[in-house]
């Protein structure tokens, strides 16, 4: 035997040798990584948008009232008399109540959501005759601060744009026209009526019993109403995105099933060349564990590279390219135009999931061939 002075851990030398063996077939390596990136990138984009939408949804829930009240007619929501606000405030458990109008209106070809807000201390809203515009609708209507907003079928309504919401104010606000409650009532010809009532309970009385009491008090007004609590809303938002996300994931597994055969080929499943390489390693004294360790290192390297590249591509695609061509699959209404920041949140879990998928796929292809060749006699593998 030769002098082994200066030897280091075999795991270190096996690591570098694994890298060398991986780069000996650059085309195969490139194709494998490219396949994985192509499959993983839309998955990461979709997951990021899902998390972004979910985050903004919970922001909306958190900002909402303890009780959300709407009128109820023919099994659908209906408007309510504004006096219900005073009725709500009269209950001792109610900290505050506010009426609101949320409706739709077309301005030319542009559909916008109109929100009429009642003024309250510490919460600035547009004054009568003023309007705040979402960034997208301002762009579509080519309006800026100081311009006049007119509604075709309501000549008596003239609103001055006093604020344009920034582009990062949330995608749900991008097509809003926010006015005073009075202006919204005039716009929809519903004086003295609101579309929903927001009720906040006093903190020490914010319990099931307290909310029940408030709801019973509101129903005592004889106005047919629907009452939703914040917890109800949280529950169905959480459940909803989970369900649809599962459908998305199921579709994605189908995509993986399509790409699996190509990956198995590129990773050497059944490749006689790979088998011979392993046979040669065995002939030169590599053990089964050495071969499997090198296979594991190679698949880990390629998985990490592919998952990382897919993440970077997804990030650039969403953050820098605005999710072009893909965001409208996940968020409806984007195709109608107007500048909107696509909601997206990149977290570690989808990346780790993508990494796990890649590793599983690559290992399935590579480990099977490697193990079969490694446990065989070297000459059997070399033939």
Partner 1 sequence: MPTDEASAAGHIGSDRLLSGFGTARALAVSIFLVSLSTTVLLVWEGRGPTSRVTREIQNTLGGLGLGATVVPVWSHRGFDPRLDPVCESEDYPIPEAPCFAPDHGGTVFDLPSLRELEGLPHLVPRARGKTARGVPQESGRP
Partner 2 sequence: MSRCTSVRLLAVTKVFQPGTSGESAALSNLTVSFESGGLHLVWGPSGSGKTTLLTIVGALDAPTSGDVTIDGLSLGGLSEPELCRLRRHRIGFLFQRPFFFPGMPVWDNVSIGLVSDGFPARRRREIAAGWLERLGLIDKLDRPPELLSGGEFHRVSLARALVADPDVILADEPTAQLDAENSTNVIAILQERAAAGCVVIVTSHDPTVRRSARRLAQLDHGRLIFSGEVSG
Residues 299-328 that bind partner 1 (CB under 8 A): 301, 304-305, 308-309, 311-312, 315
Least distance CB 289 / partner 2 (angstroms): 8
- Per CB under 8 A, the list member of 14, 22, 161, 381 interacting with partner 1 is 22
The SS3 of residue 157 is strand
Helix (H) or strand (E) holding 66: none
Question: Please, which of residues 282-311 interact with partner 2 by CB under 8 A?
Answer: 282-290
Nearer to partner 2, 225 or 366 (CB): 366
- Per CB under 8 A, the list member of 19, 21, 78, 271 interacting with partner 2 is 21
Q: Residue 79, interface with partner 1 (CB under 8 A)? A: no
Binding segment (CB under 8 A) for partner 2, from list 14-22, 139-147, 238-246, 356-364:
14-22
Question: Please, which of residues 164-223 interact with partner 1 by CB under 8 A?
Answer: 165-166, 168-176, 178, 195-196, 198, 200, 202-203, 206-208, 211-212, 215
CB 136 within 8 A of CB 175: yes
Q: Residue 27, interface with partner 2 (CB under 8 A)? A: no
In angstroms, rounded to a whole number, what is the distance separating the alpha carbons of residues 293 and 11? 8
DSSP assignment of 203-247 equals GGG-SHHHHHHHHHHHHTT---EEEEEHHHHHHHHHHHHHHHHHH
- Using CA atoms of 77, 78, 80, 85 in order, give the dihedral in degrees to the nearest 10: 20
Compute how many residues bind partner 2; rule: CB under 8 A: 38
Question: Please, which of residues 126-165 interact with partner 2 by CB under 8 A?
Answer: none
Q: Residue 46, interface with partner 1 (CB under 8 A)? A: yes
Q: Residue 280, interface with partner 2 (CB under 8 A)? A: yes
Residue 276 C-alpha from the chain's centroid: 46
Tokens linked to 167: 């582009």
Mode of pairing for the β-strands spanning 110-117 and 176-180: parallel
Nearer to partner 1, 33 or 381 (CB): 33
- Per CB under 8 A, the list member of 120, 148, 289, 356 interacting with partner 1 is 120
Helix (H) or strand (E) holding 331: none
With helix as H, strand as E and coil as C, how does 169-203 read?
CCHHHCCEEEEEHHHHHHHCCCCCEECEEEEEECH
CB 373 within 8 A of CB 381: yes
Binding segment (CB under 8 A) for partner 2, from list 17-25, 127-135, 170-178, 345-353:
17-25
The SS3 of residue 112 is strand
In angstroms, rounded to a whole number, what is the distance separating the alpha carbons of residues 340 and 200? 31
Q: Residue 87, interface with partner 2 (CB under 8 A)? A: no
CB 334 within 8 A of CB 343: no
Question: Please, which of residues 359-378 interact with partner 2 by CB under 8 A?
Answer: 375, 377-378
Task: Return the one option of partner 1, partner 2, none that residue 351 interacts with (CB less than 5 to 8 A, by type).
Answer: partner 1
- Per CB under 8 A, the list member of 4, 142, 222, 247 interacting with partner 2 is 4
- Binding residues vs partner 2 (CB under 8 A): 1-2, 4, 6-10, 12-14, 16-17, 20-21, 23-25, 276-277, 279-290, 375, 377-380, 382
């Amino acid at each position: 035997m030769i002098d082994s002075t200066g030897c280091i851990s075999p795991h270190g030398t096996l690591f570098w040798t694994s890298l060398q063996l991986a780069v000996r077939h650059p085309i195969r390596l490139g194709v494998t990584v490219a396949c994985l990136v192509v499959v993983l990138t839309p998955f990461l984009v979709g997951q990021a948008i899902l998390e972004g939408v979910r985050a903004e949804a919970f922001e909306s829930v958190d900002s909402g009232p303890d009780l959300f009240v709407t009128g109820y007619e023919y099994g659908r929501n209906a408007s309510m008399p504004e006096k219900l606000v005073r009725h709500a405030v009269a209950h001792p458990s109610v900290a505050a109540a506010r009426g609101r109008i949320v409706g739709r209106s077309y301005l030319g070809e542009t559909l916008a959501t109109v929100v009429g807000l009642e003024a309250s201390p510490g919460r600035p809203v547009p004054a009568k005759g003023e309007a705040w515009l979402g960034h997208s609708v301002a762009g579509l209507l080519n309006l800026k601060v100081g311009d006049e907003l007119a509604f075709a079928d309501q000549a008596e309504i003239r609103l001055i744009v006093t604020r344009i919401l920034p582009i990062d104010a949330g995608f749900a606000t991008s097509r809003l026209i926010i006015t005073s409650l009075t202006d919204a009532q005039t716009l929809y010809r519903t004086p003295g009526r609101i579309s929903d009532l927001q009720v906040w309970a006093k903190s020490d009385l914010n319990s099931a019993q307290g909310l029940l009491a408030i709801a019973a008090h509101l129903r005592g007004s004889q106005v047919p109403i629907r009452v939703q609590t914040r917890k109800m809303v949280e529950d169905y938002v959480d459940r909803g995105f989970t369900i649809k996300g599962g459908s998305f994931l199921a579709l994605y597994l189908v995509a993986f099933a399509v790409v699996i055969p190509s990956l198995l080929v590129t990773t050497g499943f059944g490749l006689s060349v790979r088998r011979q390489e392993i046979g040669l390693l065995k002939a030169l004294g590599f053990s089964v564990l050495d071969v499997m360790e090198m296979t594991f290192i190679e698949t880990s390297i390629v998985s990490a590279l592919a998952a990382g590249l897919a993440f970077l591509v997804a990030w650039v695609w969403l953050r820098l390219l605005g999710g072009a061509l893909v965001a409208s699959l996940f968020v409806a209404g984007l195709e109608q135009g107007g500048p909107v920041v696509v909601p997206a949140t990149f977290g570690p879990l989808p990346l780790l999931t993508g990494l796990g998928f890649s590793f599983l796929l690559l290992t399935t292809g590579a480990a099977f061939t490697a193990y079969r060749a490694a446990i065989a006699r070297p000459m059997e593998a070399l033939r």
